[in-house]
Structure 1
Amino acid sequence: MAFREFDTPQLSRRSLLRGGAYLGAGALVGGLPFAGAALAAETSWPAVTKLVTDYVGSRKLANIVAAMGRGQMPPEVIAAGMQTIGTTAAADIDSLYRIYSMTKPVTGMATMMLIDEGKLGLDQPLAEILPAFANMQVQKTYDGGIGAGDLEPAARPVTIRHLLTHTAGIGYTIIQKGPIKTAYEDAGLIAGQVSKLPLPAELGRGKPVGSLELFADGLAKMPLVAQPGTRWIYSMGLDLMGRVIEVASGMPFDAYLKQAIFDPAGMSSTFFTVPASELSRLTTNYGVVGGQLLPIDPATNSIYADKPAFPFGGAGLVSSARDYDRFLRMLLGYGAIDGKRVMSELAVRVGTSNLLPDGVDLKGTWVDGGGFGAGGRVGLGDQAGTYGWAGAAGTVGFVDFRHQLRATMMTQFMPDSTYPLNDGFRKAVASDLVAMAGR
């Protein structure tokens, strides 16, 4: 991948140019009738269509909406199922989904815009923006003790690059174990939300602090779980970037995303809080328990109808397949969509390239064998030219620059490890691309 040779403290535009029952009150719904939105008799994406109809038709999932696009052409929509089981509102390209970690690429691209404007540097120390992150301490043993004797000084500063690529050594309540996980939870360093209903620990996220500033200040007091720049560890780095963006832009994080990305890209259905006027489009999120679907965040009483404790830059957005397709189309257009430039071509090229620090350990991680850009996985080798990420409730979105492809899949179930849907979607897309090439 290009754009790797950034070894200066700041990444300016000039240097960029050089770089080339327990689920609560919901009723068991697995036995209710499923109905699907009508599918086209002929489709360019037969394998994707089969995947969608098989999962919904077998009652494994309430709905799936896929938006498949080539170049700047309008997307082809493949949809089946109802927004909520037992209702008559069919899921479609404008239905709203909790996209969780698919928020990370959005935050990543917002960061690239500020780097492009010279307000941040890719290799700028985080402490220059948030001074509390100077002189960080690090656990000597990953997920070990957090007492003074269990810690050592950070060997190097945490940088913006580290935050974007999950190499800062910051942990995650959904990943860490032991004392550091407990310390995060006790301090309200929670980066996401699931439901108003009481949930088991594996699905719930806890109660977060009340602002991005408090989140950043609290995280600065915690030890890192690994030395910065040495290991890929899925983290709250992109949530912390929300506070960095606030300071660098001089605007609230959510307001900056709206002004810089959502409005110019025509993403009118992407929110941290779903407005009351749009709740009729919100899907229900389901937990899969014993092969049955139970509503864990009902559309009629969703936590996403209320303002969150703070805008979660790593997992907080609700969006539609239409809107996320527009985000991907903007990336595929190297920053432009419908004749309007949202971000520079160079910022897109760098943000979707491999930004991992040299020598970082990827062994056994979700990105082993690949790279990582600004908030999303980057393909290498025969997968070169791909960029994207998935969400905790089964959503996924990616672009493939080599094939001028964009692909979005929306559904809602937790945990997303219940079914191999993410991998199945990617394989179905690849199968259809091979068939297209043959035709």
Structure 2
Amino acid sequence: MRKLIGFSLTGALALATPASGQALSRQQVAAPSAITQLADRWVAENRVPGIVITVGRGDVAPQVAAAGRIANEATAHRADIDSLWRVYSMTKPITGIAAMILVEQGKLSLDQPISDFIPAFKSMKVLVDPAKDLTSRAATRPITVRNLLTHTAGLGYNIITKGPLLDEYTRLGINPAAVSAAMEPSMRAVRPVSLEEFANRVATLPLIAEPGAKWSYSIGLDVLGRVIEVASGVAFDQFVTTRIFQPLGMTASYWTVAAGKANLLATNYALLGDSRAPLDPGATSVWLQPPSFPYGGAGLVMSARDYDRFLHMLVNGGTLDGVRILKPETVRLAMSDLLPATTDRSLLQAQSGGDQVGFGAGGSVSLADRPGGPGKGTFGWAGAAGTFAWVDPKNQVRATAMINLFGQTPLKRDVIQAVYGENAR
């Protein structure tokens, strides 16, 4: 299951004037196009039961391609722009932008130690040999806000970490994943009861590397949720709702899906060999039950309409429908390479398939044009269940793809080629 949840890392790294933002009616359908043909083909070939793709070019409403249903059953709701999907790590850029709101307000700074907000992180330890045991030494640098945003804090992740430290993560319930109601009892020994307790437990564990020393995928954005709520004086999920979701009209973005919306929630599947097995039916989903606290790294269920509005705000330089979320310069900073200059980027580059990639506020950043494809400065990330999205400021393109399927698929490559042309990579 760790492989199924963690697969999206490679796929995610393959990317990186007032708005009109006109709303689409549920009945509005895009004209036949490459993305429409792609969506139809994926369903016709039984790769997924349903799919939604949105592509926006410039300051206009997105083109929408939707096909199939949100589950295998013939009675399941048809997939459309308002269907609900587990976006998992696509939560990370939203948390990153929430932090940048506070940076713009002067309540956070990128190189500020997070111990200013969570005192338990004041004196951290670093493992001497992560593969061997938990022997540690004192860290020589503090963890900063920048480190949390860019996966350079030296924190682990249950889908990446191995050995004795993984055992400690498991023992303390440091596992942000939610897979299914049936699997929930076995996912962790005990779940922290609050975001505060979660962060304080993380602070008791040694780091895998000195803060800022290396890029390594982590729970940094989950810990950042606690920093955000301390710095803002508002609960993390409430801050995201009031400062991002409500102003942008994102009315289908949930930490917990209301029972009345369960009929719109896609079933999540796992690709096991040639078979597609249902893991979390929408009608009985674990996402219908409130978690102990909201996870800033993987905690959201969203519609394609909502994620497109988030991207539209970014490509517009922080504004949508006359509402400003951030200043243009703050958006540019958020979508720039924020990695410390001395960071070892070898893991990041290895995962990117050779592309030149940096990391911004919760998402990857392309450092060079991709031949025929996304331009330099493209910012985005993917989720474990096959969802992904990006903003390409150079070409004024934004795209979101929604499926719910654990396992490697060629969907990202197919969508990039549908958006930019068949020679894109």
Instruction: Please indicate, yes or no, whether the TM-score normalized by the shorter chain is above 0.5.
Output: yes
Residue 82 of structure 1 contacts residue 90 of structure 1 at CA under 8 Å; is this kept in 2?
A: yes
What is the CA-CA distance between 1:42 and the residue it aligns to? Answer: 4.3
**Pick from 54, 71, 75: which aligns with 1:84?**
71
**Distance in structure 2 (CA, Å) of the matches to 1:384 and 1:293:** 36
SS in 2 for 1:229: coil
1:8-19 to 2 correspondences below 5 Å:
none
Residue 379 of structure 1 contacts residue 386 of structure 1 at CA under 8 Å; is this kept in 2?
A: yes
Q: Can you list the C-alpha shifts for 1:180-237, whole angstroms capped at 9, x where unaligned?
A: 1110010011112111123899xx5775311101100000000001111111100000
Structure of greater Rg = 1
What is the CA-CA distance between 1:290 and the residue it aligns to? Answer: 3.0
Counterpart amino acid of residue 175 in structure 1: I
How many residues matched?
389
**Distance in structure 2 (CA, Å) of the matches to 1:286 and 1:158:** 37
- Do residues 403 (structure 1) and 395 (structure 2) align? yes
**Distance in structure 1 (CA, Å) of the matches to 2:115 and 2:172:** 21
Counterpart amino acid of residue 278 in structure 1: K
Residue 91 of structure 2 contacts residue 296 of structure 2 at CA under 8 Å; is this kept in 1?
A: yes
**Distance in structure 1 (CA, Å) of the matches to 2:412 and 2:324:** 31
Counterpart amino acid of residue 177 in structure 1: K
Q: 1:183 to 1:274 in 2, by over 3 A?
A: same
**Distance in structure 2 (CA, Å) of the matches to 1:110 and 1:393:** 23
1:396-435 to 2 correspondences below 5 Å:
396-415=388-407, 417=408, 419-431=409-421
Matched with 1:309 is 292
1:36-115 to 2 correspondences below 5 Å:
42-43=31-32, 45-46=33-34, 48-88=35-75, 89-115=77-103
**Pick from 235, 256, 260: which aligns with 1:273?**
256
RMSD over equivalenced CA pairs, Å: 2.1
Percent identity of paired positions between Structure 1 and Structure 2? 45
1:111-122 to 2 correspondences below 5 Å:
111-122=99-110
Residue 94 of structure 1 contacts residue 320 of structure 1 at CA under 8 Å; is this kept in 2?
A: yes
Matched with 1:230 is 213
**Pick from 253, 257, 264: which aligns with 2:240?**
257
What is the CA-CA distance between 1:71 and the residue it aligns to? Answer: 1.6
- Do residues 154 (structure 1) and 139 (structure 2) align? yes
Q: 1:310 to 1:139 in 2, by over 3 A?
A: same
SS in 2 for 1:349: helix
What is the CA-CA distance between 1:58 and the residue it aligns to? Answer: 1.2
Q: 1:200 to 1:134 in 2, by over 3 A?
A: closer
Matched with 1:21 is none
What is the CA-CA distance between 1:155 and the residue it aligns to? Answer: 2.0
SS in 1 for 2:361: coil
Residue 57 of structure 2 contacts residue 396 of structure 2 at CA under 8 Å; is this kept in 1?
A: yes
Counterpart amino acid of residue 181 in structure 1: L
**Distance in structure 1 (CA, Å) of the matches to 2:124 and 2:167:** 19
Q: Can you list the C-alpha shifts for 1:236-258, whole angstroms capped at 9, x where unaligned?
A: 00000010011001011100000
Matched with 1:190 is 175
SS in 2 for 1:265: coil
Residue 212 of structure 1 contacts residue 310 of structure 1 at CA under 8 Å; is this kept in 2?
A: yes
Residue 190 of structure 1 contacts residue 206 of structure 1 at CA under 8 Å; is this kept in 2?
A: no
**Distance in structure 2 (CA, Å) of the matches to 1:422 and 1:212:** 33
**Distance in structure 1 (CA, Å) of the matches to 2:30 and 2:100:** 42
**Distance in structure 2 (CA, Å) of the matches to 1:180 and 1:155:** 20
- Do residues 355 (structure 1) and 338 (structure 2) align? yes
Residue 191 of structure 1 contacts residue 208 of structure 1 at CA under 8 Å; is this kept in 2?
A: no
Q: 1:113 to 1:171 in 2, by over 3 A?
A: same
What is the CA-CA distance between 1:293 and the residue it aligns to? Answer: 1.6
What is the CA-CA distance between 1:309 and the residue it aligns to? Answer: 1.6
Question: What residue ranges of structure 2 are gaps of 5+ in the alignment?
Answer: 1-25, 370-374
What is the CA-CA distance between 1:433 and the residue it aligns to? Answer: 9.7
SS in 1 for 2:270: strand
What is the CA-CA distance between 1:38 and the residue it aligns to? Answer: 11
**Pick from 156, 161, 168: which aligns with 1:176?**
161
Question: What residue ranges of structure 1 are gaps of 5+ in the alignment?
Answer: 1-36, 435-439
**Distance in structure 2 (CA, Å) of the matches to 1:126 and 1:144:** 28
Matched with 1:135 is 123
